[in-house]
Amino acid sequence: MKAYTNARLLMLGLAALANAHTTFTTLYVDRKSQGDGTCVRMPYDGETATFPIKSVVSEDMVCGRNGTEPVPFVCPTKKGSLLTFEFRLWPDAQKPGSIDPGHLGPCAVYLKKVDNMLTDSASGDGWFKIWEDGYNPETQKWCVDTLVEKNGLLSVNLPQGLPAGYYLVRPEILALHWAAHRNDPQYYLGCAQIFLDSDVKGALDVPKEHLATIPGYVDLDTPGLTFDVYQDDIEYYPIPGPKVFTPDNSHLSANVDSKAEPMVQTVGLIPQDCLFKSANWCGKPMAPYSDSALCWEAVKNCYAQSKECKKSSPPVGLKNCDLWSAYCEKLDKPCTQNLFEGPPAFEAKEVVLPPPGELPAMWNNVFEKKEE
């Protein structure tokens, strides 16, 4: 039996105590928060939202629990945009924290191009990895060490050579604290829905050796999933999944009509008449009214929307739905006082939490490494 002298092993005790894990809640595009849960396929159950994926070969590996269901909004991005993913210990940020520092392991970001964000299956083939960070023997740091330093904020630039279109973006963290000793590698992951506005046209042609099928790209025998993070002097850690793929123009199929109109986003835009947004829900304005029946009709409409806001909300908190409910009360009161002119102006501002720290740049520059 090997004696574990590594100080990391002490952390195992911490890991055992911590019930709180982590979940991806918020997408930032070019350092701007899109709002908690907006464009993110989050698990709906707040009690288990931060739990690891139960089985590394299950459908939940695709985009997490409830992740194969699309959400209504798709966030616009540009060529080379910096995407930042926020991971939280508490999905609604009621307490600070990103992930238990004992949850050592690698991270990666995968993409899948889809024609139709609302109907195409996230599950199956077509996934490829655009970024990864495993273990660096020089600094003796795991990706999770850096992620904790960066307050749970993980950034990646979209490769310049990606053609315009709709993509699922899937950040994953693999925690290995129980991997070797309990056969329990723990994935934490989720997906964001984005549209890439770019002058790069054509169909993306990902070489076979770079493609992954999810679920299926890993199982409990994959070397990176059985790895003992507590051994001394780790020289090399085999990051699971295919090698990073950085598309350039040579990976676009020919026959592109260079005069073709640039592709524009038509699906998943926040509606023009959206009065107020909460995650992937949008509050619609009431039509003007001036009599009793329509006044009460507007109140009913407002509360029905309020109910929908809460029902559709991922577990990021109901701050914004509560602001909408407060507006309904503002509609309600004049009706009771026989003041039937309305609706009153909507004045609340969407609550967007500040990031838990400085938004980092991409810390492991996989694009430069490729050119070395």
Residues within the interface to ligand NAG (CB under 6 A): 44, 65-66, 69
Nearer to ligand NAG, 69 or 341 (CB): 69
Q: What is the four-CA torsion angle of 17, 18, 19, 24, rounded to 10 degrees? A: -160
Q: Are 294 and 347 in contact (CB under 8 A)?
A: no
CA distance 55 to 301: 42
Q: Are 137 and 124 in contact (CB under 8 A)?
A: no
Question: How buried is residue 299: exposed, middle or buried, by Cβ count under 10 Å (0-12/13-18/19+)?
Answer: buried
Buried b (16+ CB within 10 A) or exposed e, 278-292: bbbbbbeebeebeee
Nearer to ligand NAG, 30 or 69 (CB): 69
Nearer to ligand NAG, 49 or 335 (CB): 49
Look up tokens 């309904």; give the residue: 328
- CB 69 to ligand NAG: min, Å: 6
Nearer to ligand NAG, 242 or 314 (CB): 314
- CB 44 to ligand NAG: min, Å: 4
- CB 51 to ligand NAG: min, Å: 11
In the 8-state DSSP scheme, what is residue 80? Answer: T
Nearer to ligand NAG, 69 or 205 (CB): 69
Report the residue closest to ligand NAG, judged by CB: 66
Nearer to ligand NAG, 186 or 265 (CB): 186
- CB 90 to ligand NAG: min, Å: 19
- CB 327 to ligand NAG: min, Å: 25
- CB 307 to ligand NAG: min, Å: 15
Per-residue three-class SS string for 187-239: EEECEEEEEEECCCCCCECCCHHHEEEECCCCCCCCHHHCCCCCCCCCCCCCC
